[in-house]
Structure 1
């Protein structure tokens, strides 16, 4: 299952992903940012669950299953540059801006703006085709919601 999705994502000219595959790929990107500092904390996993449950209107069982699949996909996915660019080519812009906002929520979940997570997010946003202005606005929305 994951091999086929990764093959489609990394094709020279990827087709737009079906809804379920896009949802899985975007959740895997949330997992990647959470794991980037070497400490995949429970608060980050819980925040991913909250974000995907809300974003995709999932129940608790579906949420846990999606995150578990995303954790596996993330571990098998290619380097962040190829993975992120593939998502950019396969997912509409508005969804990518929403993902950047969700990524900021993961980075800020533990109350610390870790350098590794911050650096990865600043690299990932442009690769997703999200400009600095929209990324900064997304970060501000998250910070305001957490205050």
Structure 2
């Protein structure tokens, strides 16, 4: 029995080490993927939006952005929560940059032309975990919606 408990605890410690290895780009990509998956559909427009965001926002080449997107999808599939992703993003960003990231999340949600309630919910949850005020959360949504209509 004690051996079994030690085995379980060692697996838990291994998972903690893996979470610590997530860098900013991976954390950001995972949050973008989480929004994309929220409505149960993975659309080409959303994938392209995420890939373009990683290229422009993180300064990656197309191949590197594709690899990162694949890695982020796998991590999101295995994750039990958003904490490890949000935590690393919070550590590397200012308040203003976190609002910009919320706008990036809204861009994914709007990529298919409409925002699903689940996408809204996920972005709202992420905004709360990133300490983005409700007013800034709403303004980010309005900014993205208005810019896509122009």
RMSD: 2.2
The aligned counterpart of 1:66 is 68
The alpha-carbon deviation at position 72 of structure 1 amounts to: 1.3
Q: Output the CA distance in 1 between the equivalents of 2:141 and 2:60.
A: 24
- Whether 2:126 is the aligned partner of 1:136: answer no
| Count of aligned positions | 134
TM-score, normalised via structure 1 length: 0.80
The alignment partner of 1:102 has SS state of helix
The gaps in structure 2 that reach 5 residues or longer are 1-13
- Output one character per residue of 1:11-39: Cα deviation in whole Å (capped at 9) or x when no partner: xxxxxx7xxx0111111010011101111
Please list, as runs of the form range in 1=range in 2, the aligned pairs for 1:56-135 lying within 5 A after superposition.
Answer: 56-80=58-82, 82-83=83-84, 86-87=87-88, 89-93=90-94, 94-135=96-137
Equivalent pair of 1:31/1:74 in contact (CA under 8 Å):
yes
**Rg (Cα) greater in structure:** 2
Give 1:30's match in structure 2, choosing from 12, 29, 32.
32
Question: C-alpha separation between the residues in 1 aligned to 2:25 and 2:37?
Answer: 18
| Long gaps (5+) in structure 1 | 10-16
TM-score by length of 2: 0.78
* Distance in 2 between residues matched to 1:68 and 1:46, nearest whole Å: 13
| Deviation digits for residues 36-72 of structure 1 (CA, Å, limit 9, x no counterpart) | 1111111111110111111012221111111111111
